[in-house]
Amino acid sequence: MLLAEEIRKVRKGRLTTVARLREALARTTGAETVCPMTTGTCLSIVAGAAEEQIGAARRPVAPH
């Protein structure tokens, strides 16, 4: 889950954007760019997984 890893890198109390996450993912993978639609879909999946894990009193895959 590359996206979850990038989200975890954001320090507590800091704000990031989807565009910045996409830039970081592109650098990490050696790509020129990453698809905004796919990134948005994956971001929704990561947020849903984190919400489920919080509800189950487990450590979330990414901060939410």
pLDDT-based confidence at 64, cuts 50/70/90?
A: low
pLDDT-based confidence at 5, cuts 50/70/90?
A: very high
**Residue 31 domain-assigned?**
yes
**Residue 25 domain-assigned?**
yes
What confidence score (pLDDT) does residue 63 get? Answer: 80
pLDDT-based confidence at 52, cuts 50/70/90?
A: very high
The reply to whether the predicted model has a pTM over 0.85 is no
How many structural domains comprise the chain? 1
What range does the domain containing 8 cover? 2-55
- Report residue 63 as tokens: 């901060």
Question: Residue 49: which residues within 8 A CB-CB, separation 6 or more?
Answer: 60, 61, 62
**Residue 41 domain-assigned?**
yes
For residues 28 and 6, what is the distance between their CA atoms, to the nearest angstrom? 9
State the alpha helices, DSSP H only, in the chain.
2-9, 18-29, 36-55
**Residue 63 domain-assigned?**
no
**Residue 10 domain-assigned?**
yes
**Residue 61 domain-assigned?**
no
pLDDT-based confidence at 46, cuts 50/70/90?
A: very high
